[in-house]
């Protein structure tokens, strides 16, 4: 495996720990917000608009496992 260096684009974000993201403490992206709102509706969970990028990513992972729509895939 090659040295990843300091570039965020060297490795897909899905393979890195969100706690190690350089921009993880920034507000969630619009795409994360939209997807998280959908997952919250599907799972009956409350949407938290204050999550950071890293926390939103972790929450998305949690809710994907519980979504009835995604559990069938």
pLDDT (tens, 9 = 90+) of the chain, 73 residues, equals 444 444 444 555 457 888 888 888 999 999 999 999 999 999 999 999 999 999 999 999 999 999 888 876 5
Cα gap 68→42, rounded to integer Å: 7
Q: What are phi and psi for residue 36, nearest 5 degrees?
A: -65, -40
Cα gap 14→50, rounded to integer Å: 21
Per-residue pLDDT at 47: 98
Per-residue pLDDT at 23: 87
Cα gap 63→66, rounded to integer Å: 5
Q: What is the pTM of this model?
A: 0.72
């Amino acid at each position: 495996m090659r040295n990843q260096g300091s570039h965020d684009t060297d490795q897909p974000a899905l393979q890195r720990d969100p706690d190690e993201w350089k921009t993880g403490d920034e507000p969630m992206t619009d795409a994360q917000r939209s997807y998280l709102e959908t997952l919250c509706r599907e799972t009956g969970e409350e949407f938290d608009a204050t999550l950071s990028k890293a926390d939103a990513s972790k929450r998305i992972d949690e809710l994907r496992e519980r979504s009835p729509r995604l559990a069938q895939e």
